[in-house]
Amino acid sequence: MMDWLQRLIAKLPFRREGLATAGLVLGIIITGLIKSINLVLLLGSFLAAIVLANVFLARRQVHSLEATRILPDLVHAGEPLTWRLKLRRTDGRRVLGLMVEETDVRQKWYVDELAAKGIAFLEGTSTLPQRGVVRWRALKASSGYPFGLAYFERVIAQEDEILVAPRLGALHRGKLRHWLRMHSPSQGLARVALIRHPAAQMEIHGLRPFRTGDSPRWVHWRTSARRGELMVREFEDLPNDNLMLVVDPIVPEGETTTPQLERTLALAATIVHEWCRQKGDRFILVLGGPKPKLLQGTTSRPFLIDALRELALIQCGPQTDTSALSTLLSDPSLPAAACLVVASEASNIGDALAEDSALRPAMLNLSAGDDQSFFEWTPAGLGGTPGLGGTPGLGGTPGLGGTP
């Protein structure tokens, strides 16, 4: 009997104050009926009308409301995340006294007034501590307008997902190049990182006839007028700064992540981020694990997003399938590049690559305390190098956890 009564009370649009007021009004009306006191009955009817008006008005505030989350496509773990909510009313009535709540990050907004068919933008800031896929639960709006006796709640936005990339640190690119030249057995071969000469394209190598695809800006008009055909400048080829980064995500049997693995992924994400700041180089990202993957492209923002997404969702395991990895790296179309292998634990992947391919990678084992003078780890909560989606805000609100 008590369970049935509790379920009934839970379905009513009243909170504690509303239940107390409704009980008081009901008592006044019953007393007026029993005692036949018209004045008491009139008072009870007036109070009941107030309660019923609150129920009607509160329900109307959350009716025909829609909200859209404006989330970044990617954000880094440990960095402040700023997102926006687009709130609008689809009918011709204004909204008064509305509360909007994100339950996962414990953030609330109070909307005093929203004009009829108007739009309001709400902004929130939080910090996501772990990489992986973060699921935002349904967004709710509630209102007790005008007296707070009755409250109605409604879902105004469905679940969303956001991808959290590994935390970024600080990388000294010049020191990394020097470290590669000192530690890579392939020094002097084709796969050595070359330093870009910033003025290389300023030197004209010669002139040649115009070909389809040439830029009109390259036309040498004086020579073209003298020879009677379009002649274009031919520039010297730029030295490349290509890089192949192999990530070996080793974790003990039964584990899904370790501090060393997260540091390894942070190093890999920082290298990719730094390389994509300089556009036009070739980058090959190789992910080890039970099912190795290879991602290659030209350094740019789209490639950066794809690479960080793969690092955020990387499959970890006690060992890497070296045979499958060697098959991926045997592709003759892969460009010449310096090769760096970063591993979270002791790894034989370097020896396997040396045996099965012409690669002579530089090995970096973070668990062995290898020299990392070129990389500075950024502790959680202090932010890092500003990433794609992390917009420094007013501080973080402890919030969602990632699902590696």
Tens of pLDDT, residue by residue over 338-372, are 889 999 888 778 777 766 556 778 888 887 776 67
- pLDDT per residue as tens digits for the range 22-70: 999 999 999 999 999 999 999 999 999 999 999 999 999 998 899 999 9
**72: CATH:** 2.60.40.10
User: Is residue 184 very low, low, confident or very high in pLDDT (cuts 50, 70, 90)?
Assistant: low
pLDDT of residue 361: 84
- For 296, phi then psi, to 5°, come to -130, 155
Average pLDDT, the chain: 82
Q: Is residue 78 located within the same domain as residue 216?
A: no
The residue range of the domain holding 274 is: 170-196+240-376
pLDDT in tens, 233-264: 765 544 568 899 999 999 988 888 898 999 99
Q: Are residues 124 and 218 in the same domain?
A: no
Greater confidence (336 vs 168) lies with 168
Residue 327 domain-assigned (yes or no): yes
Q: Is omega for the bond preceding 146 within 30 degrees of 0, making it cis?
A: yes
| The predicted structure's pLDDT at residue 182 | 80
pTM of the predicted structure, to 2 decimals: 0.71
- My answer on whether 146 and 205 are in the same domain is no
Calpha distance 206→234 (Å, rounded): 5
Within this chain, do residues 211 and 174 fall inside the same structural domain, yes or no?
no
**Is residue 126 domain-shared with residue 24, that is, in the same domain?**
yes
Q: Is residue 85 part of a domain?
A: yes
383 assigned to some structural domain: no
Predicted confidence band of residue 404 (pLDDT cuts 50, 70, 90):
very low
The reply to whether 3 falls in a domain is: no
Question: How many independent structural domains does the chain possess?
Answer: 3
Instruction: For residues 32 and 112, state if they share a domain.
Output: yes
Edge to edge, what strands does the sheet with 152-157 contain? 107-114, 95-102, 139-143, 152-157
Strands (E), 90-159: 95-102, 107-114, 119-127, 132-136, 139-143, 152-157
254: in domain: yes
The answer to whether residues 206 and 192 belong to one domain is no
Instruction: Tell me, yes or no, whether 255 and 318 share the same domain.
Output: yes
Kindly state whether residue 381 falls inside one of the protein's structural domains: no
Query: Do 185 and 308 share a structural domain?
Result: yes
pLDDT for 354: 67
251, two tokens:
């974790």
The verdict on 301 and 328 lying in the same domain is yes
81 with 105, same domain: the answer is yes
363 forms bridges with which residues in the sheet? 341
In the three-class reduction of DSSP (H, G, I as helix; E, B as strand; rest coil), residue 329 is classed as helix
- Residues 271-303 pLDDT 10s: 999 999 988 889 999 999 989 999 999 999 999
**Per-residue model confidence as pLDDT tens digits over 62-92:** 988 999 999 988 899 988 899 999 999 888 8
**In the predicted structure, residue 403 carries a pLDDT above the cut 50:** no
β-strand partners of 233? 207
54 with 156, same domain?
yes
Q: Is residue 341 part of a domain?
A: yes
Say what percent of the chain tops pLDDT 70: 83
CATH number at residue 300: 3.40.50
Say if 386 falls within a structural domain. Answer: no
